[in-house]
């Protein structure tokens, strides 16, 4: 038997960073994101030889252990090991023997929620194996707990929920781990137009989002006026983005992205770089009406909104930076699991 799962990555359209504690605990966060047809995959194959083998296709790493109830968290494939440790501790209560294979359609640190999506995918394979009675909110919260509590990785909450639920969602975050996922019912033709106008551009750089998020969280904790006020404005854009999509007012999206980006850069240091600023300016000069980094910042994917068929000119102008306009489609499915007999 083989147990497989896949979880979709997401594009952050508005409100990014407002899901990070302590800001979300005190003021409440709001984010609008959309899952796309790029995925994190996990396969688990039970074994009978008392071995645990973990293979990461992306990192080209293989770890092998004797079966145990707790694998060492030592900086190598910790996401895979962290999920196993929590599954054993909370559900199985005994050591297991298996081979785990993970792979991703995009690079780590690319701003599409890679680590959290991978955790959701790994959890999904274990849920499929043991038929665990966990709903979508349960899986997303468990993924968050593994990353943020067990592994002590800084970050927000949107990625786990986006990967689990899928679709285009307006999400609200409050103190006490209260999260509300509001799926948006958007007409197919509107979704197609949004997808056509929205360029997903990979800068061919990656970053460690944890450091940026740690700085952002510290500034919020210290209640520094300018970063907190900027975060308020970023949150407001999530509400405006929701209204624009529901009212078929796509022409407003460029300005929403532009305001989001201007204020995102005020939330913490390291969010932008000279290269990112130059790429952004080039896109604007060639017809994009707005854009932003997808994710915490510092590198990875950027998104640009292009009205009036300017997407072609923008894509051509960005070629000189060595990046790639990534083909994608919106994906309505969240975490998917299945068994291979």
Instruction: Output the DSSP codes for 56-113.
Output: ETTTTEEEEEE--S----SSSSHHHHHHHHHHIIIII-S---EEEEEEESS-TTSSS-
pLDDT of amino acid 308: 84
Same domain (yes/no): 209, 301: yes
Where a domain ends, among 185, 210, 231? 185
Same domain (yes/no): 103, 229: no
Evaluate if residue 280 carries a pLDDT over 90: yes
80 vs 279: CA distance, rounded Å:
35
Same domain (yes/no): 26, 170: yes
Q: What is the CATH number of the domain that holds 239?
A: 3.30.70.890
Same domain (yes/no): 178, 192: no
Q: Which two tokens stand for residue 219?
A: 């500034």
230 vs 265: CA distance, rounded Å:
9
Evaluate if residue 211 carries a pLDDT over 60: no
Same domain (yes/no): 225, 152: no
Give the residue from 334, 31, 28, 29 showing the smallest Cα distance to 169.
31
Q: For residues 139-144, give the mean pLDDT.
A: 98
Task: Please provide residue 39's backbone torsions phi and psi, each rounded to the nearest 5 degrees.
Answer: -135, 160
Evaluate if residue 212 carries a pLDDT over 80: no
Bridge partners (DSSP) listed for residue 330: 36
Task: Please provide residue 9's backbone torsions phi and psi, each rounded to the nearest 5 degrees.
Answer: -80, 170
Q: What is the CATH number of the domain that holds 110?
A: 3.30.230.10
Same domain (yes/no): 130, 208: no
215 vs 221: CA distance, rounded Å:
10
Residue 13 pLDDT class (50, 70, 90 cuts): very high
Q: Which residue has the tokens 């800068």?
A: 203
Where a domain ends, among 170, 185, 200? 185
Residue 159 pLDDT class (50, 70, 90 cuts): very high
Task: Annotate 163-195 with b (16+ C-beta within 10 A) or e (fewer).
Answer: bbbbbbbbbbbeeeeebebeeeebeeeebeebe
Q: Mapping DSSP to helix (H, G, I), strand (E, B) and coil, where does residue 39 land?
A: strand
Print the domain residue range for 137.
2-185
Cα→Cα distances 17→34, 206, 215, 260, Å: 16, 18, 11, 11
Q: Which residue has the tokens 């960073």?
A: 17
Instruction: Note the pLDDT tens digit of each residue in 97-113.
Output: 999 999 999 988 888 99
Q: What total of structural domains would you count in the chain?
A: 2
Which residues lie closer than 8 Å to 19 by C-beta, 6 or more apart?
Answer: 29, 31, 156, 157, 158, 171, 173
Instruction: Note the pLDDT tens digit of each residue in 324-335.
Output: 999 999 999 999
173, 231 Cβ separation under 8 angstroms: no
> DSSP secondary structure string, 171-193?
EEEETTTEEEEEE----HHHHHH
Q: For residues 50-74, give the mean pLDDT.
A: 97
Q: Average pLDDT of the chain? A: 93
Residue 299 pLDDT class (50, 70, 90 cuts): confident
Residue 221 pLDDT class (50, 70, 90 cuts): low
The pTM for the full model equals: 0.93
Give the residue from 11, 332, 336 showing the smallest Cα distance to 166.
332
Tell me whether residue 84 is in a domain. yes
Which residues lie closer than 8 Å to 124 by C-beta, 6 or more apart?
Answer: 5, 6, 7, 42, 139, 335, 336, 337
266 vs 289: CA distance, rounded Å:
20
Same domain (yes/no): 157, 210: no
The residues carrying an active-site annotation are: 159
* C-beta atoms surrounding 222 within 10 Å: 11
Same domain (yes/no): 32, 146: yes
Q: For residues 279-294, give the mean pLDDT.
A: 96
Where a domain ends, among 166, 185, 204? 185
Cα→Cα distances 169→62, 288, 329, Å: 36, 24, 15
Tell me whether residue 334 is in a domain. no
Same domain (yes/no): 135, 276: no
Same domain (yes/no): 133, 241: no
């Amino acid at each position: 038997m083989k147990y497989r799962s896949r979880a979709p990555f997401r594009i952050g359209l508005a409100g990014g960073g407002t899901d990070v504690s302590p800001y979300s605990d005190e003021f409440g966060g709001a984010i609008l994101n959309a899952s796309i047809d790029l995925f994190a995959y996990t396969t688990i194959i039970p074994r009978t030889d008392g071995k645990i083998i973990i293979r990461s296709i992306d990192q080209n790493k293989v770890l092998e252990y004797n079966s145990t109830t707790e694998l060492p968290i030592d900086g190598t494939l910790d996401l895979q090991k962290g999920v196993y440790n929590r599954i054993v501790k909370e559900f199985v209560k005994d050591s297991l023997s298996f081979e785990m294979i993970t792979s991703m359609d995009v690079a780590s640190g690319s701003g599409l929620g890679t680590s959290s999506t991978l955790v959701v995918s790994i959890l999904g394979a274990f849920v499929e194996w043991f038929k665990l009675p966990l709903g979508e909110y349960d899986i997303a919260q468990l993924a968050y707990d593994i990353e943020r509590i067990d592994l002590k990785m800084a970050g927000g909450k949107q990625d786990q929920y986006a990967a689990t639920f899928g679709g285009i969602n307006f999400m609200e975050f409050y103190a006490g781990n209260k999260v509300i996922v509001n799926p948006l019912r958007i007409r197919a033709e509107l979704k197609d137009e949004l997808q056509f106008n929205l360029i997903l551009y990979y800068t061919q750089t990656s970053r460690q989002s944890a450091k940026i998020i740690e700085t952002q969280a510290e500034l919020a904790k210290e209640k520094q006026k300018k970063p907190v006020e900027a975060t308020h404005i970023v949150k407001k854009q999530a509400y405006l983005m929701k209204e624009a999509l529901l009212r078929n007012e796509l022409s407003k999206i460029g300005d929403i992205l532009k305001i989001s980006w201007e204020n995102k850069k005020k939330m913490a240091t390291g969010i932008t770089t000279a290269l990112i600023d130059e790429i952004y300016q080039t896109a604007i000069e060639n017809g994009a009406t707005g854009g932003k980094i997808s994710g915490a910042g510092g590198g990875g994917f950027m998104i640009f909104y292009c009205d009036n068929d300017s997407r072609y000119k923008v894509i051509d102008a960005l070629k000189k930076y060595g990046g790639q306009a990534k083909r994608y489609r919106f994906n309505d499915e969240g975490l998917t699991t299945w068994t291979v007999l």
